[in-house]
Amino acid sequence: MKLPHKAHVAMVDGEHFTLFRNTGQPFEPKLEKEENPELDPTNFSAGVRHQDEIGQRHGRTDLEELAHGAAAAEWLNRKAIAGSIDDILIIADPKTLGEMRHHYHSELKGRLVGEIAKTLTGEPIAKIEKAIETA
């Protein structure tokens, strides 16, 4: 995957949100950790609306995890609208990424250079960079 120089990389799962910046070249990313944004996951209704019928019946969907994904998307929306983010790659586990997509603002969509539906939180930066290269 081509990741523009200075692009942001948001890595999200149901509990964590880490922001990186690409200081490398487009086809050879070099990630540097930025801030860990503070989120206020309050959008619990979204998870109920978006979980599948089986998940609703058996209570398999963790609403706190989905609310965290919604809060991450809302944080990214604010940054995109304010012009603080030009290019963004989002890496998230499939369930979180699916929830985040429901909350993308058009400004964020316009700045999105890609998505990777994979759980990479807690992995070494070199493994994350390799996943971006091969995506």
Helices 94-101 & 63-82, crossing angle to 10 degrees? 50
Q: Give the CA radius of gyration of the chain.
A: 15
Q: What is the pLDDT of residues 81-123, one digit of tens each?
A: 999 999 999 999 999 999 999 999 999 999 999 999 999 998 9
3-state helix, strand, coil in the chain (%, to 5): 40, 20, 40
Q: What is the pLDDT of residues 8-31, one digit of tens each?
A: 999 999 889 999 999 999 999 999
Q: What is the pLDDT of residues 55-83, one digit of tens each?
A: 555 454 566 788 889 999 999 999 999 99
CA distance 36 to 29: 20
Specify whether the CB–CB gap between 115 and 88 falls below 8 A: no
Specify whether the CB–CB gap between 131 and 91 falls below 8 A: yes
Total-model pTM: 0.84
Angle at CA of residue 32, ends 27 and 33, nearest 5°: 135
Instruction: Parse the chain into domains and list their residue ranges.
Output: 8-134
Domain boundaries 8-134, CATH class = alpha beta
